[in-house]
Amino acid sequence: MTSTAAALLARATKSRRPIFVALAVILLLRSRLLTLPKDVVRNLRRVAYGPPLSQDEMVQVLQQVYLDGPDGTKTLLVPYRDRVSEVTIKPYTPSQLADDAKNFPPVPPTHKPSLDKTFLHQLKAILRITFPSWYSKETLILILHSFFLVSRTVLSVGVARLDGRIVRDLVSADGKGFLKGLGLWFLLAIPSTYTNTMLHHLQAKLSLRLRTRLNRYTNDLYLSSAPDLRYYRVSTEGGLDGVDQYITADVASFCDAVAAIYGNVMKPSLDLVLFTTQLSRTLGVRGTILLFLNYYATAKILRAVTPAFGRLAAVEARLEGEYRAGMGRVGRESEEVAFYNGGPRERDILWRAYLRLIKHINSIYKIRIAYEWTEDYVIKYLWSAAGYALIAVPVLLTRRRNVGIQTGVNVKINDEVANRTETYISSRRLLLSLADAGGRVMYAQKDLLELAGLTTRIYTLLSTLHNLSPLPKPAPSQDTVELSHVDIAVPSSASTSSSAATVLVKDLSLALKSGEHLMITGSNGVGKTAVARVLAGLWAPWKEDEDELSVGKVSGGGNEKGGAVKRPEGKKGVFVVPQRSYMVAGTLLDQIIYPDSYEQFKQSGRTLQELMEILTASNLAYLPAREGGWHTRKEWRDVLSGGEKQRMGLARVFYHKPKFAILDECTSAVSSDVEGRMYEHAKSLGITLITISLRPSLMRYHNQLLTINGDGVGSWTLTKVGGAEERMGLDREIITLEEKLADVEGWEKRVKELTKALSVQEA
Ligand SMILES: Nc1ncnc2c1ncn2[C@@H]1O[C@H](COP(=O)(O)OP(=O)(O)OP(=O)(O)O)[C@@H](O)[C@H]1O
């Protein structure tokens, strides 16, 4: 066997001679290549990758981010040094994602991760994403990995046999044989070590590829556009918190675990089979039966002491997520925290989250002590003892037989001892490898349980996202926004009782034609923004008598129970500027055109001159000069002041020129004169305004006033501004104020009396 291996190696070495020569030449020349003149290196790179980009071109590339392909593909432009590499990706289509939903039925709330049928089902559903076909690169890596795993085991058997042979030659003082064995030892070491390195490399590569696949899928699913808006609804309607932890850390851990589990289970299992086969040749039937009894006993003992690693891993991931989310919150809202000087308080909160995490990890470590102690004891010592016993059986039996034979025949005792030593050394090495493989198989159970925990996390994420049924699509209309008999309530997850939901606005009906501007007012928290959410399609109209969300079963503007919504489609139809300003990651230009991309901006034929006019109308004309141009990248959330951010929100309205703009208290930090000018400008662009505000001064830009009363029963009133009702209301207010003014004289007199009394006391 060993001579065959050596022959194979020798043949391989011979046939690969040119490659070895080339490698040696490269190694020798390496230092020379490194010191080549810079312009030669530059020219070589130019030939290989094309000319480098100028600074201007690089700025354009950074602005562009990606190119849209005609077939829906996106080519990402990834800057690297002074060049750009292109990565083409094809996003999943909404119909592909909808098709996949059947693979992700909801997880029962009582489910605990363990090695059962549910785990296999969940893993299969996820692996369908990571291994899309038999011809994918991931499958190829797996095949290659398997090849190296088998090679590794075969080489281990070779090493064990060679080990025995070398010691045999040593014991029988065969110098030639010993040297030959040593030579083979070094030769065998080359493929053995290479195989090990490749196994690590392929495992890491597989993990990374799986992560990329899963990330792309999750991102396409999560960041879905209307009517799905899963990123917006996953927490309120799906009841899933800390999604960022799921998508970033958990996906990475899951992929690492999957890539590792293959090697961790496959390799030791293969080792077990191969080594047992090899050993059974030496041990005979009785020995092999004993070996299997040994396996059985070990499995039983370890099963009894194995803790619920899956559940522990899932809890650890959740606690890790909570701690991470806390850190993220402080980073995001650092200025607010700093104004309150809330550092120490935040530290306490974060410290508590960290301690909970650490306490849990510590408890895992403690649980592991008992498990690992038993495992070590059983695998290392019990198996070794069993191994000695197993090896001793044939040796002792042969010896006894030989002793019997010796009396009549002349036997070469030296040869016998040498052969016995060879058998002993080979078997011992195989047994040690077997113990190691056994240990890893047993440990793989722990890995499998941890994988079950991570699988449950990823499956929960994907199934929650898949099971958010699309929001009802508002019925399209040309130039009107209409709500008829709509009830509005905070959407809740299916797990929270719908009877607990209070209706904020009941039976709301209004019709707004183009040019009829509406103002929505009412106290804080009465549901003004809620109306905007329904109009924008973020919330479905509420259906009272349903346990589930009023989504998914409604189309064409709602149904009779939930009321109906009609509006012009898309961001050109209704554009919302929310209460909290949002600044996107990117350049100054990106802030104005958001949510459009630079590519869309270029395709629309709009110019920088137009953007400048928009900024002028928003009183932000100074920004490009102040910030260093249109393509400057900054953390705009921190760079712009509160008022500037609000003005930027209106600049977006001027850029997109929608038919209707919902302005949700988005000018509260803008001075009234600038606010007035911007309102007039919006109107001059033909935009119909729906303003949510508590400022009476804004009433003059509107024709209708919707007041939400906040009386707990969802009542509301809709009046024409400037109409008889409105005037009567104002008259009533004037009378009340005049009555109050009449008392002022009396109050002033009383203040004087009190001041006098105080000064007498002090004297
Ligand atoms: N995601 C949510 N989860 C739970 N409750 C919510 C959610 N969104 C809104 N609410 C509740 O719905 C009610 C109405 O909220 P909304 O934002 O519409 O108030 P508003 O009238 O716009 O108030 P303000 O003038 O303060 O902006 C509030 O009581 C709020 O607490």
Q: What is the mean pLDDT of residues 383-388?
A: 74
How far does the centroid of ligand 1 lie from the alpha carbon of residue 424, in Å?
A: 78
Cβ of 524 closer than 6 Å to ligand 1, yes or no, is yes
How far does the centroid of ligand 1 lie from the alpha carbon of residue 712, in Å?
A: 13
How far does the centroid of ligand 1 lie from the alpha carbon of residue 490, in Å?
A: 8
CATH superfamily, with its number, for domain 98-466: ABC transporter type 1, transmembrane domain (1.20.1560.10)
* Ligand 1: residue whose CA is nearest its atom 5: 490
Cβ of 233 closer than 6 Å to ligand 1, yes or no, is no
* Ligand 1: residue whose CA is nearest its atom 26: 524
| pLDDT (0 to 100) of residue 406 | 46
* Ligand 1: residue whose CA is nearest its atom 18: 527
* Ligand 1: residue whose CA is nearest its atom 16: 527
Q: How far apart are CA 76 and CA 60, in angstroms?
A: 13
Query: Is the preceding peptide bond at 70 cis, omega within 30 degrees of 0?
Result: no
Statement: residue 475 has pLDDT above 50? yes
Cβ of 154 closer than 6 Å to ligand 1, yes or no, is no
* Ligand 1: residue whose CA is nearest its atom 17: 529
* Ligand 1: residue whose CA is nearest its atom 29: 525
Q: What is the mean pLDDT of residues 46-75?
A: 74
How far does the centroid of ligand 1 lie from the alpha carbon of residue 334, in Å?
A: 24
* Ligand 1: residue whose CA is nearest its atom 28: 525
* Angle in degrees, 0-180, between the axes of helices 175-222 and 413-466, rounded to the nearest 10: 0
Cβ of 504 closer than 6 Å to ligand 1, yes or no, is yes
Q: What is the mean pLDDT of residues 236-247?
A: 86
What's the token pair of residue 522? 């009412």
| pLDDT (0 to 100) of residue 531 | 92
Cβ of 529 closer than 6 Å to ligand 1, yes or no, is yes
How far does the centroid of ligand 1 lie from the alpha carbon of residue 613, in Å?
A: 35
| pLDDT (0 to 100) of residue 41 | 64
Atom of ligand 1 nearest to the CA of 527: 18
How far does the centroid of ligand 1 lie from the alpha carbon of residue 573, in Å?
A: 24
Q: What average pLDDT does the structure give for the chain?
A: 81
Cβ of 645 closer than 6 Å to ligand 1, yes or no, is no
Cβ of 236 closer than 6 Å to ligand 1, yes or no, is yes
Cβ of 503 closer than 6 Å to ligand 1, yes or no, is no
Q: How far apart are CA 650 and CA 29, in angstroms?
A: 63
Asked which of 35-39, 45-49, 409-413, 572-576 is least confident by mean pLDDT, the reply is 409-413
Burial class of 379 by CB neighbour count within 10 A (0 to 12, 13 to 18, 19+):
buried
Atom of ligand 1 nearest to the CA of 235: 1
* DSSP one-letter code for 248: I
* Ligand 1: residue whose CA is nearest its atom 4: 490
Q: What is the pLDDT of residues 604-623, one digit of tens each?
A: 899 999 999 999 999 999 99
Statement: residue 359 has pLDDT above 90? yes
Cβ of 63 closer than 6 Å to ligand 1, yes or no, is no
Most distant CA atoms of the chain, gap in Å: 140
Where do runs of H (alpha helix) occur along 621-671? Answer: 623-627, 636-639, 642-656
CB atoms inside a 10 Å sphere around CB 444: 20
How far does the centroid of ligand 1 lie from the alpha carbon of residue 190, in Å?
A: 68
* AA identity, residue 43: N
Asked which of 88-92, 487-491, 593-597, 720-724 is least confident by mean pLDDT, the reply is 720-724
In which band, very low, low, confident or very high, does the pLDDT at 340 lie, cut at 50, 70 and 90?
confident
| pLDDT (0 to 100) of residue 462 | 95
Give percent of the chain above pLDDT 90: 25
Q: How far apart are CA 559 and CA 565, in angstroms?
A: 9
610 contacts 566 by C-beta, under 8 angstroms = no
What's the token pair of residue 555? 């189309």
ipTM of the complex: 0.94
Q: What is the pLDDT of residues 122-165, one digit of tens each?
A: 999 999 999 988 888 899 999 999 899 888 888 888 887 888 88
Domains 98-466 and 475-582+643-721 share a fold: no
Q: What is the pLDDT of residues 254-264, one digit of tens each?
A: 999 999 988 88
* Ligand 1: residue whose CA is nearest its atom 1: 236
Angle value at C-alpha 93, between 89 and 95, nearest 5 degrees: 160
Q: How far apart are CA 10 and CA 184, in angstroms?
A: 10
- Select from 240, 490, 506 the residue to mutate for testing ligand 1; criterion: most ligand atoms less than 8 Å from CB: 490
- Select from 528, 695, 707 the residue to mutate for testing ligand 1; criterion: most ligand atoms less than 8 Å from CB: 528
Checking phi first, is residue 516 left (phi over 0); if not, alpha (psi -120 to 50) or beta? beta
What is the pTM for the complete model shown?
A: 0.73
How far does the centroid of ligand 1 lie from the alpha carbon of residue 657, in Å?
A: 28
Atom of ligand 1 nearest to the CA of 665: 27
Q: How far apart are CA 75 and CA 408, in angstroms?
A: 87
Statement: residue 500 has pLDDT above 70? no
- Looking at per-residue confidence, does 639 or 287 come out higher? 639
737 contacts 756 by C-beta, under 8 angstroms = no
Cβ of 666 closer than 6 Å to ligand 1, yes or no, is no
Atom of ligand 1 nearest to the CA of 236: 1
How far does the centroid of ligand 1 lie from the alpha carbon of residue 527, in Å?
A: 6
416 contacts 410 by C-beta, under 8 angstroms = no
Statement: residue 220 has pLDDT above 60? yes
Cβ of 549 closer than 6 Å to ligand 1, yes or no, is no
Statement: residue 368 has pLDDT above 60? yes
* Ligand 1: residue whose CA is nearest its atom 14: 527
Cβ of 2 closer than 6 Å to ligand 1, yes or no, is no
| pLDDT (0 to 100) of residue 381 | 78
* Ligand 1: residue whose CA is nearest its atom 10: 490
In which band, very low, low, confident or very high, does the pLDDT at 470 lie, cut at 50, 70 and 90?
confident
* Ligand 1: residue whose CA is nearest its atom 8: 490
Boundaries of every domain in the chain: 2-93, 98-466, 475-582+643-721
* Ligand 1: residue whose CA is nearest its atom 24: 524
How far does the centroid of ligand 1 lie from the alpha carbon of residue 525, in Å?
A: 5
Cβ of 526 closer than 6 Å to ligand 1, yes or no, is yes
* Ligand 1: residue whose CA is nearest its atom 23: 525
Which range in 229-243, 348-362, 491-505, 735-749 is most confidently predicted, on average pLDDT?
348-362
Statement: residue 682 has pLDDT above 60? yes
Angle value at C-alpha 742, between 736 and 748, nearest 5 degrees: 125
> What is the third-level CATH fold of 475-582+643-721?
Rossmann fold (3.40.50)
Q: What is the pLDDT of residues 514-551, one digit of tens each?
A: 888 999 998 888 999 999 999 888 888 887 654 444 33
Q: What is the mean pLDDT of residues 684-702?
A: 89
